């Protein structure tokens, strides 16, 4: 297989890492871009519990910091040609849960995180992706209940023909406790207009792309939050932790405008919901399972049309910018 085709197939797999996007697009990882998103989960009430709802707004930025083709020697001391691409990722999220229509905590939570993803392809040492991120979640009403978290991991990728690629690896994550998470990804092209992409256990999508400016995603994914807050009593302030998670099934319509904007509207059902509250000793105080409820989401992404790193990199591979943007 020619080195250009080899590297092109490798970069087709990198869309597996864009699990925060409604549409998984390769161009997001090769050009600086910013995505603004808002989600609303309709309040639902379980028997004998409070009504629970959720609003989330977020901003996600991706900046390439390294794109190059390197010549050198592999671990087996043989000549090797390697492509390396590294991006920095930053995200800020505002989370507002409500109980019986009342905000709780008073001003919700804020989350900020920074990380990096490095993609590496070579003839001798195969295909790899590495990533890590560090962040903190904090209640808006105080700065004394920070909830730190981090994750890091790697995945090996394999090419199975021109239309199929798989990835497998593991992630080590910390959010209140340390977890080891095995991951499996697949990128399967079904004809010219259909593609199935998944990064399990986090997200899976089926994308239908009939035109260059419009596409539709059928998706399933896991979402939620974990934050700390304080309860004021007559004697003292008590530290609490609140965890929420759900599985969503939805449909997203994406419009690509002026070659640099992507507007997406998503709607679906949030089910398998679970809400828990813990004390400072991590003892479970309350646990409820709100019923399945509808949700809606809107996002706007600005994708720059120029990047010094990416343009130089793609020029070396002879692929050109147009092919990457429309991948």
Report how far apart, in Å, the C-alpha atoms of 308 and of each of 34, 82, 200, 313, 315 are: 17, 19, 33, 8, 11
pLDDT tens digit sequence for 211-244: 888 999 999 999 999 888 888 777 777 888 889 9
Q: Is the pLDDT of residue 153 over 80?
A: yes
- What mean pLDDT is predicted for residues 15-36? 59
Predicted TM-score (pTM) of the model is: 0.81
Which is more confident, 252 or 5? 252
Min mean pLDDT across 32-36, 104-108, 281-285, 316-320 is at 316-320
Tokens of 312: 């130089």
Tokens of 130: 């590495």
Comparing CA positions, the residue from 156, 83, 159, 79 lying closest to residue 124 is 79
pLDDT tens digit sequence for 56-94: 999 999 988 887 776 666 556 666 677 788 889 999 999
d(CA 157, CA 105): 43
Which is more confident, 120 or 266? 266
The distance in angstroms from the start CA to the end CA of the chain is 20
- What mean pLDDT is predicted for residues 115-125? 78
Domain residue extents for the chain: 3-325
pLDDT of residue 34: 92
pLDDT of residue 275: 93
Those residues whose C-beta lies under 8 Å from the C-beta of residue 216, and which sit 6 or more positions away, are 207, 208, 251, 252, 253, 254
Q: Is the pLDDT of residue 326 over 50?
A: no
d(CA 82, CA 293): 48
Report how far apart, in Å, the C-alpha atoms of 231 and of each of 78, 142, 228 are: 63, 11, 10
């Amino acid at each position: 297989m020619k080195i250009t085709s080899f590297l092109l197939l490798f970069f087709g797999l990198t869309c597996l890492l864009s699990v925060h996007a409604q549409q998984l697009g390769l161009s997001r990882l090769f050009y600086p871009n910013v995505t603004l998103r808002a989600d609303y989960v309709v309040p639902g009430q379980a028997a004998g519990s409070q009504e629970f709802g959720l609003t989330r707004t977020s901003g996600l930025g991706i900046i390439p910091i390294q794109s190059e083709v390197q010549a050198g020697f592999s671990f087996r001391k043989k000549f090797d040609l390697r492509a390396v691409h590294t991006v920095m990722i930053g995200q800020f999220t505002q989370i507002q849960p409500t109980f019986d229509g009342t905000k709780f905590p008073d001003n919700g939570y804020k989350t900020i995180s920074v990380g990096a993803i490095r993609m590496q392809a070579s003839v001798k040492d195969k295909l790899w992706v590495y990533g890590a991120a560090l962040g903190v979640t904090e209640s808006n009403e105080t700065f004394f209940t920070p909830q730190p978290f981090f994750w890091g991991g790697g995945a090996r990728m394999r090419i199975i023909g021109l239309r199929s690629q798989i990835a497998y690896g593991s992630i080590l994550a910390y959010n209140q406790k340390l977890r080891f998470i095995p991951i499996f990804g697949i990128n399967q092209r079904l004809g010219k207009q259909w593609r199935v992409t998944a990064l399990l256990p986090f997200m899976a999508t089926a994308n239908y792309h009939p035109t260059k400016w419009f596409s539709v995603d059928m998706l399933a994914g896991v979402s939620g939050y974990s934050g700390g807050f304080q309860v004021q009593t007559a004697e003292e302030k008590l530290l609490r932790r609140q965890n929420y998670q759900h599985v969503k099934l939805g449909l997203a319509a994406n419009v690509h405008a002026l070659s640099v904007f992507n507007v997406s509207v998503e709607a679906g059902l949030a089910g398998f919901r679970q809400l828990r509250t813990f004390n400072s000793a991590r003892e479970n105080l309350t646990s409820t399972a709100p019923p399945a409820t509808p949700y809606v989401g809107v996002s706007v992404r600005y994708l720059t049309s120029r990047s010094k790193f990416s343009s130089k990199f793609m020029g070396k591979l002879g692929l050109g910018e147009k092919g990457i943007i429309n991948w």
